[in-house]
């Protein structure tokens, strides 16, 4: 996976003081991505050809192409800006596969289980099929997502061969936490988010990203949060009418 040099994200470097422009940009991007995911999963009609999220996915594909072309032109004019030889073609197929994996397989086999939630086989099949369709719309190779087994194998391969945090990774991780600290709707503290990051990603990766290690109090909060989420989800799963109501409300 191509990893741009720190200069590529120079505008995202955190600085002391009140919320700066970099954290505002990070917060906006996170909210836009969250909205996109929620809309994709809100209804089947929205992701069908001609639906709102189908059009949005195609726009993402066009955006990727435009950014890729722009970076390649800048790399020709200013070799110090981006090295194709060192980092590869920007927004390449592997980058895009990893992104789809982050929204599908990592959620299924890492994110949810570490919160005490495990999907049924049919739910896994359906969720991967949904993101395989999104991958198709965005021009991302779909073969890695043909079956849950292949999707999981790709996820594990990416972790082994591509996850190599750099200084840029540390900057981006810190900006994500700073951008969400004490903000609507959760108003989560920095300590809570650091504990959650460590809970979901594990000590080794969190250390490599230079994530803070908060006091035991925040770990207790994360434990309580996971127990609450487990209770809500498993109770809804066992009561179909309640599950349908929650979907409609969402």
pLDDT band at 44 (very low <50, low <70, confident <90, very high): confident
Q: How many domains is the chain partitioned into structurally?
A: 1
Q: Is residue 81 part of a domain?
A: no
> Is residue 144 over pLDDT 90?
yes
Q: Is residue 244 part of a domain?
A: yes
Q: Is residue 172 part of a domain?
A: yes
Lowest mean pLDDT among 38-42, 106-110, 208-212: 38-42
Q: Is residue 145 part of a domain?
A: no
Q: Is residue 208 part of a domain?
A: yes
Higher-confidence position of 110 and 185:
110
What's the mean per-residue pLDDT of the chain? Answer: 88
pLDDT band at 46 (very low <50, low <70, confident <90, very high): confident
> Is residue 22 over pLDDT 80?
no
Q: Is residue 151 part of a domain?
A: no
Q: Is residue 4 part of a domain?
A: no
User: Which 3-state string (H, E, C) describes the chain?
Assistant: CCCCCHHHHHHHCCCCCCCCHHHHHHHHHHHHHHHHHHHHCCCHHHHCCCCHHHHHHHHHHHHHHHHHHHHHHHHHHCCCCCCHHHHCCCCCHHHHHHHHHHHCHHHHHHHCHHHCCCCCHHHHHHHHHHHHHHHHHCCCCCHHHCCHHHHHHHHHHHHHHCCCCCHHHHHHHHHHHHHHCCCCCCCCCHHHHHHHHHHHHCHHHHHHCCCCCCCHHHHHHHHHHHHHHHHHHHHHHHCHHHHHHHHHHC
Highest mean pLDDT among 74-83, 145-154, 182-191: 145-154
Q: What is the mean pLDDT of residues 125-134?
A: 96
pTM of the full structure: 0.84
Q: Is residue 247 part of a domain?
A: yes
| Domain membership of residue 209 as a residue range | 165-250
pLDDT value for 243: 82
pLDDT value for 12: 38
């Amino acid at each position: 996976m191509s990893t741009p040099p720190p200069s590529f994200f120079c505008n995202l470097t955190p600085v002391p003081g009140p919320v700066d422009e970099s954290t505002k940009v990070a917060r906006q991007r996170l909210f836009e991505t969250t909205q996109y995911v929620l809309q994709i999963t809100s209804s089947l009609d929205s992701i069908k050809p001609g639906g709102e999220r189908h059009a949005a996915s195609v726009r993402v594909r066009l955006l990727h192409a435009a950014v890729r072309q722009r970076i390649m032109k800048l790399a020709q004019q200013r070799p110090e800006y981006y090295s194709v030889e060192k980092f590869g073609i920007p927004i390449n197929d592997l980058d895009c596969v990893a992104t789809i994996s982050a929204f599908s397989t990592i959620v299924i086999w890492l994110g949810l289980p570490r919160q005490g939630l495990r999907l049924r086989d049919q739910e896994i099949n359906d969720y991967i099929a949904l993101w395989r369709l999104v991958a198709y719309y965005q021009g991302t190779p779909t073969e890695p997502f043909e079956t849950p087994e292949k999707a999981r194998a790709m996820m594990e391969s990416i972790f082994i061969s591509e996850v190599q945090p750099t200084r840029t990774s540390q900057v981006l991780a810190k900006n994500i936490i700073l951008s969400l600290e004490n903000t609507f709707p959760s108003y989560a503290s920095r300590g809570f988010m650091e504990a959650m990051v460590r809970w979901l990603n594990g000590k080794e990766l969190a250390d490599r990203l230079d994530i803070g290690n908060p006091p035991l109090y925040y770990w207790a909060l994360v434990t309580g949060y996971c127990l609450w989420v487990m209770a809500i989800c498993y109770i809804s799963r066992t009561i179909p009418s309640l599950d349908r109501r929650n979907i409609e409300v969402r």
